[in-house]
Chains A and B, each alone.
Chain A
Amino acid sequence: MTDRSDGRLPTDLEIIARDVGSLLLMEAGLMTLSVAVALGFGEYYAALGFLISGGLTALIGGLAVRRFADAPEPKTKHGMVIAAGGWLGVALFGALPLFLAAWVTPPAVMDTFVPAAAAAASWDPIAVGGTTTVSSLAYFRDPLHAVFESMSGWTGSGLTMAVHEPSLPRAIQWWRSFIQWVGGVGVIVLTVSILSRPGSGSYALYQSEAREKKIHPSVVSTVRTVWKLVVAYTLLAFAMLFAAIRLSESAYAESLSYGETAWQALNHAMTGLTTGGFSVTDNSIATYGSPLVETTLLPIMVLGAIAFPVHYVVLRDRRFRELVDDLQTRWLLLLFGAGVAVLSIQNVASVPATPGAFATGSFLPVSVPLLDGAGLDAVRDSTFQWISALSCTGFQSAPIGRWVAGAKVLVVGAMVLGGAAGSTVGGIKIVRGYTVARGIAWQFSRVFLPKNAVVTTRIGDRTLDRATMEREFGEAAIVTLLWLVALAVGSIVLVNVAGPEFGYADALFEVASAQGNVGLSSGITGPSMSPLAEGMFLFNMWIGRLEIIPVLVFLRAGIWGLNP
């Protein structure tokens, strides 16, 4: 801390506080907007919660921005710390509406949110202020649960503490979907303009797109490019889902009114496209029990897993070949196909060993050779869950906890790898996996060559010389290693604190899901989980979203400062 100026905070800290503060101001704006949603649905207590939260957030954010208004522009070295600190700050303040709404809403009012469905009778009652309610809103009276939900939302994970989503106020349902949607845009901005530094694969892939040396203009121009795309896709997804739910023949879908259908379509369009995975239905997508809805969601999740610079090129230049030409998209589509096939085979083979995991009745009007009803259901569930896992969405259509360990581990593989860098997915990302694999192959091909031989390697349509290769491989290898180490440590901790009914495969699955920002669950996550595991998941989601290194830089800066 050398550059102190007349007894004030160090300049680095001022820059960071100012920029995180301005992120909080934006969040306060989102909260204010949500007040309108709450009022629109006549949920006055929730509206009050949002109002207080917005005020508090604006106050803190505004103070930071005003106090440090004259701090210099951020430089490269600040970018990561701002990103890591920003995500943490926004997630912490984002918990306020959940927490406050849970405390200001009287238990009697909470009960009115509970749908009249027969299933609600079997829900666990939650003790609040001397009485009980079955509304899941009461869970957010615990600040840890509220922060968890907010972090899960802002990181696009989708693990939830709200056991029964339909019993939440509309405004809270909206807030959960909204933060995933905005968080999704944030991630694209993050990967395209802050994380993509020289030496990382995504930098090299999308260099031409909206990149400038200075951080602020780069962020602004990225947002400008991205938001139109996201809004357009969301509207499209909304229309598709609305039609799919209306056309579905399942009892649940047919019981929905037009308004309810529109509400669910909107929320699921927002969380599906940004590969977030929060839902407003009780059992995620399994609630619909509709092959049509599941099929409609597949392309939406796939869209979310393709890098946004690629979307941009495809739409602007009408160049659909880009989907095949772009290295990551090509591999993504390949992996979608191959994984669906492998997981289906595994699950079909394990049908006899897993009673209760798959429905026995066929969902198709025609019979298919080789597959009975359960086999067909296994293929259907495998398809949906693989795409949900690899795209890091986390919509669930099947009881994955009941699958065999082999199938769980396959899904873990998908969640660890994730989709394309530059989209809203989590995981290690395809470009890194590819760089690591190429680097290792390169290592072997050099075994027989003299030490000073000139070797180049190709990644996509770029030819890399040795120094570039070394840098990109180093970055990818280190992120991969750290990712795997965090996964191993997390799963070992979890298997010790989770209940005895969960095996190691379940623990591995759950940590991969949190750290990969996926949101699928083998059943461990819930309000009754150990607080230690819940706190650990907060950390897993945070580092997963920021691809680990920025968080470590943040922590390092917290201890030693930013200057060498």
Chain B
Amino acid sequence: MSWGVNWKASVGLLGVGIKYLAVTLLVPLIVALAYGEDIWVFLVSMALVAALGFAVERVDPDPDLGPREALLFVSLAWLAAAVIGTIPYLIAGYGTASTVGLQTGSFGALTESIVNALFESMSGFTTTGATVLGEISTDRHSHAVLMWRQLTQWLGGMGIIVLMIAILPEVAVNGAQLMESEAPGPELQKLTPKIAETARALWLIYFGFTIVYIAILYGLHLLGMADNMTLYNAVAHGFTTLPTGGFSPEDNSIAAFSAVVQWVVIPFMVIAGVNFALFWHVLRGEAEVMLKNAEFRAYAGALAVVTAILAVLLFRGAAPAIELGGTTQGVAGNSLRQAAFQIGSLLNSTGYATADFVEWDTDAQILLMFAMFIGGSAGSTGGGVKIVRWLIVGKAIRRELFTSAHPDVVQPIRLSGSVVDEDAIRGIMSFTILYIVLFAVSAVLLSLDAARIGIQLTMLESTSASLATIGNIGPGFGRLGPFGSYLFFPDTSKLLMVFLMWIGRLEIVPVLAVFISAVDGR
């Protein structure tokens, strides 16, 4: 069975990655040590993962990747990460009431617990932030497991492949092809001639921002301005802000923290939605590259406009009076903070919340849903359709209007001063339509599947579930709100959403291309 692709090479290389994933389990292990929690959970997990890695590596000890193998590898890597990420959840939760812990009471309970763990893990690695944990507190789950949950988002944020290219020479050989498949956005910007250096530069910037951010959060705590922003919480949120993740070990997300903390989180969420390559230019003293970048300008503009509209709506009373974090009606400061936070969180797909926006008026909710459709920038850690795609779609529409009246005129499309390749434009059109179709079809499937077991989803719930998972956003509306959970969905729906998060993170192309080439069998 060849399927026209040398799958052994892809799987063999996968083993290398899995092996190194075992090392990351050291982080929760240390947390467990610090809090005096069970450390055997992570020791066993590490042993299992490492053994699996060595075993899988044996499939092809000297992998040689062509373009197809590279795509297959990228697709599989994310799936494998999600599967491996379930191990700590399943083991730690065994015999407890945890919804993601292994349950062996009945076959139904067993499959449900495994599906839940897979959902949580995929939601982590793809930086979605949708959760099936139910009750999120350190009473129910250990500090260490919750930290693992945060860490998966940090690992997934800049891209597990980019990380592998940066540190593993075996992977760096095919780096360009791999990075192209994983990078969010239509085009990969090579910063340096060597792809491994580009990958390293991106991860360093990402790492640097994370450190600075954690230091500021913890600094606030030390200054007495944020009581509950302990070192644990500072690190935990440090792991999920820059990757636009959205997981929080607090049940009330960022609403659990003071207004000062919320104001600090906002700029870092905004940063996470910017193309990280632009920061590289800024660090080299070329700030004008960033300021002249069309996508960056559009991103900043979109944030400003949508935030302003939402702030006005909140000021005029779009939120109920007893609002978590302060009443907004008539209070300019609170309105602005709540608007900036929610938009900063949803527009670039983070998914934190400082208010239960499912209680807001419909027009405010629709504005939020609109923001969810925009997405972050290409080359950022954000999900969604991506701003640059909307820019190019808009320009293509304008050109179509022009050329339909003047068929003989040839007009190239320019972005930030340079001509966009027609191939790329067609790719963006394909992507956008496919994204919308997948989103719509999945929304219908989710609502049919829920009805199958007697749950009636509202249209807002089914569409937001589909949008929040394919766009790697996290919270939706109705029962899926920022303080709600995806727990009540049937297993089949959860698997569908796992699939959506997976292809959403990889932006559809690698996954579908692998499927299609398998079917074609060429």
Binding site for B on A (CB under 8 A): 76-77, 80-81, 197-199, 404-406, 409, 436, 439-441, 443-445, 447-448, 451, 470, 473-475, 477-478, 480-482, 484, 492, 495-496, 503-505, 508, 549-550, 552-553, 556-557, 562, 564
Residue of B nearest to A200 (CB): B404
Question: In the bound complex, how far is the Cα of B67 from the Cα of A77, in angstroms?
Answer: 45
- The reply to whether A77 and B405 form a contact with Cβ atoms under 8 Å apart is yes
Interface bits B360-390 vs A (CB < 8 Å: 1, else 0): 0011001000000000000000000000000
Interchain CB contact (< 8 A) of B67 among A448, A470, A556: A448
Interchain CB contact (< 8 A) of B363 among A198, A404, A470, A496: A496
Q: What are 28 residue pairs bridging A and B, where the CB atoms are less than 8 Å apart in the complex? A: A80-B404, A80-B405, A198-B407, A199-B407, A406-B447, A406-B448, A406-B451, A439-B429, A447-B71, A448-B513, A473-B429, A474-B396, A474-B429, A475-B400, A477-B426, A478-B396, A481-B429, A484-B436, A492-B366, A496-B366, A504-B458, A504-B459, A504-B463, A549-B404, A553-B404, A557-B405, A562-B405, A564-B406
Q: Closest approach, in angstroms, between the C-beta of B364 and any C-beta of chain A? A: 12
Residue of A nearest to B403 (CB): A199
Residue of A nearest to B457 (CB): A405
Q: Closest approach, in angstroms, between the C-beta of B210 and any C-beta of chain A? A: 33
Q: Closest approach, in angstroms, between the C-beta of A150 and any C-beta of chain B? A: 27
Q: Which positions 457-472 of chain B face chain A at CB distance < 8 Å?
A: 458-460, 463
Residue of B nearest to A479 (CB): B400
B47 CB within 8 Å of chain A: no
Residue of A nearest to B4 (CB): A448
Question: In the bound complex, how far is the Cα of B406 from the Cα of A39, in angstroms?
Answer: 48
Residue of B nearest to A440 (CB): B430
Question: In the bound complex, how far is the Cα of B503 from the Cα of A444, in angstroms?
Answer: 15
Q: Closest approach, in angstroms, between the C-beta of A554 and any C-beta of chain B? A: 10
Question: In the bound complex, how far is the Cα of B63 from the Cα of A209, in angstroms?
Answer: 58
Instruction: Give 20 A-B pairs besides A80-B405, A440-B433 with Cβ atoms closer than 8 angstroms.
Output: A76-B405, A81-B405, A439-B426, A440-B430, A443-B427, A447-B67, A447-B71, A447-B513, A470-B422, A473-B429, A477-B429, A477-B430, A478-B396, A481-B432, A496-B362, A504-B460, A549-B404, A553-B404, A553-B405, A564-B409
Chain B residue numbers with a CB within 8 Å of A448 are 67-68, 513, 517
Residue of B nearest to A446 (CB): B423
B23 CB within 8 Å of chain A: no
Chain B residue numbers with a CB within 8 Å of A470 are 422, 426
Interface centre among B405, B422, B517 (most CB of A within 10 A): B405
Number of A-B contacts (CB under 8 A): 104
Chain B residue numbers with a CB within 8 Å of A81 are 405
- The reply to whether A405 and B405 form a contact with Cβ atoms under 8 Å apart is no
B173 CB within 8 Å of chain A: no
Chain A residue numbers with a CB within 8 Å of B362 are 495-496
Question: In the bound complex, how far is the Cα of B406 from the Cα of A562, in angstroms?
Answer: 9
Given the known interface contacts A477-B429, A503-B458, A504-B459, the answer about A451 and B404 at a Cβ–Cβ threshold of 8 Å is no
Residue of A nearest to B398 (CB): A556
Interchain CB contact (< 8 A) of A443 among B68, B426, B436, B463: B426
Binding site for A on B (CB under 8 A): 67-68, 71, 362-363, 366, 393, 396-397, 400-407, 409, 422-423, 425-427, 429-430, 432-434, 436, 444, 447-448, 451, 458-460, 463, 509, 512-513, 516-517, 520
Question: In the bound complex, how far is the Cα of B256 from the Cα of A261, in angstroms?
Answer: 72
Chain A residue numbers with a CB within 8 Å of B434 are 440
Interface centre among A81, A404, A447, A480 (most CB of B within 10 A): A447
- The reply to whether A445 and B405 form a contact with Cβ atoms under 8 Å apart is no
Question: In the bound complex, how far is the Cα of B405 from the Cα of A81, in angstroms?
Answer: 9
Q: Closest approach, in angstroms, between the C-beta of A20 and any C-beta of chain B? A: 17
Chain B residue numbers with a CB within 8 Å of A496 are 362-363, 366
- The reply to whether A552 and B430 form a contact with Cβ atoms under 8 Å apart is no
Question: In the bound complex, how far is the Cα of B363 from the Cα of A439, in angstroms?
Answer: 36
Q: Closest approach, in angstroms, between the C-beta of A401 and any C-beta of chain B? A: 15
Q: Closest approach, in angstroms, between the C-beta of A190 and any C-beta of chain B? A: 14
- The reply to whether A405 and B426 form a contact with Cβ atoms under 8 Å apart is no
Residue of B nearest to A406 (CB): B448
Question: In the bound complex, how far is the Cα of B404 from the Cα of A198, in angstroms?
Answer: 9
Chain A residue numbers with a CB within 8 Å of B422 are 470
Question: In the bound complex, how far is the Cα of B436 from the Cα of A556, in angstroms?
Answer: 27
- The reply to whether A451 and B401 form a contact with Cβ atoms under 8 Å apart is no
Chain A residue numbers with a CB within 8 Å of B509 are 444, 447
- The reply to whether A481 and B433 form a contact with Cβ atoms under 8 Å apart is yes
- The reply to whether B512 and A444 form a contact with Cβ atoms under 8 Å apart is yes
Chain B residue numbers with a CB within 8 Å of A447 are 67, 71, 509, 513, 517
Chain A residue numbers with a CB within 8 Å of B429 are 439, 473-474, 477-478, 481
Q: Closest approach, in angstroms, between the C-beta of A511 and any C-beta of chain B? A: 13
Interchain CB contact (< 8 A) of B513 among A444, A477, A562, A564: A444
Given the known interface contacts A406-B448, A504-B460, A552-B401, the answer about A474 and B513 at a Cβ–Cβ threshold of 8 Å is no
Chain A residue numbers with a CB within 8 Å of B444 are 406, 409
Chain B residue numbers with a CB within 8 Å of A445 are 516, 520
Residue of B nearest to A496 (CB): B362
Given the known interface contacts A77-B406, A406-B444, A447-B509, the answer about A477 and B401 at a Cβ–Cβ threshold of 8 Å is no
Interchain CB contact (< 8 A) of B430 among A80, A443, A482, A553: A443
Question: In the bound complex, how far is the Cα of B405 from the Cα of A482, in angstroms?
Answer: 18
Q: Closest approach, in angstroms, between the C-beta of B458 and any C-beta of chain A? A: 7
